[in-house]
Amino acid sequence: MRRDSSSRRSRPASEGRRLGAVARDWCDLGVTGTRGGRPNAQTVTQIMTAPRVCGYRANKGELLLLPETGQPVLGQWDPIVTPDQWQAVCATFSPGSLYLHRGSGAPRLTENRRPKPRHLASGFLRCGAQHPDGTVCRGALCAQEGRSKRSPYVYSCRSCRRCSISGPLADEALERLLFPQAQGQVRLPESMRQRWRSGEMGLEEKRKIIASVFTCCIVRRGVKGEHSWDHSRVEPVWRWADRVAPSGVIA
């Protein structure tokens, strides 16, 4: 891995972060692979669990051991962590992933303790901001804390950081798409609408319904200084677009 010397300083890594977030930090720092590749969760895993970080030598996933003592062979380089630290990092990956089993097939143990989504639209919103070349960002909008009473949380694009939308606005927009006042694109059972509205339905069930209806929703960038809620900023990509009749009702 090379590091661009002009890059900005690393911020301290807090505990329990996801590998994807670490990879994004590295990208921001200008870290690239020896062939110029951008770090991703898999390469970060490979680097973190590589025995060489603690000075051990390995070949094709097997530690080299001194035949006389059975102790690991040490390389001729400065280790960046102690063997104990390296073991501790490896222990956060599932069994078998200890430097032998690499990459995306090695889920971290902490992954299972990941909290469930707490917001209705998490994972369904994509960034509609345009890049200078005219292409659309389509980065995932992730929920984060908002700054106002009206928007205690917002969904923001993590890729380009140029698009965010009030959390309650986006959730309400999704709800309006699912249960339009007039005839809309979908017609879900009335009983479903009632359970949704009454508060009987849990977040998980609501999210399942959303997933069954939309592939995702593209969020257009808001207009600066415009404070009224524009629900049309959330543009649905219907899962069954091919089955939506010209009248707008799912056949």
**Dist. CA 225–CA 208, nearest whole Å:** 34
CA 63 to chain centre: 33
Nearest distance from residue 38's CB to Zn ion, in Å?
Answer: 17
Of residues 24 and 108, the one with the C-beta less far from Zn ion: 24
Nearest distance from residue 128's CB to Zn ion, in Å?
Answer: 8
Nearest distance from residue 4's CB to Zn ion, in Å?
Answer: 23
> Got the DSSP string for 80-100?
SS-HHHHHHHHTTBPTTTTTT
Parallel, antiparallel, or unpaired: how do β-strands 141-145 and 58-59 relate? unpaired
Nearest distance from residue 130's CB to Zn ion, in Å?
Answer: 9
Measured in degrees and rounded to the nearest 5, phi and psi for residue 140 equal -75, 135
**Dist. CA 57–CA 73, nearest whole Å:** 6
Which residue from 240, 219, 243 is spatially nearest to 231, judged by alpha carbons?
Answer: 219
**Using an 8 Å Cβ cutoff, are 128 and 158 in contact?**
no
Nearest distance from residue 171's CB to Zn ion, in Å?
Answer: 19
End-to-end CA separation in angstroms for the chain: 54
Of residues 54 and 173, the one with the C-beta less far from Zn ion: 173
Binding site for Zn ion (CB under 5 A): 127, 129, 137, 139, 157, 159-160
Q: Which two tokens stand for residue 55?
A: 């000075």
Of residues 55 and 139, the one with the C-beta less far from Zn ion: 139
Nearest distance from residue 24's CB to Zn ion, in Å?
Answer: 13
Write down the residue that tokens 């035949």 correspond to.
Answer: 67
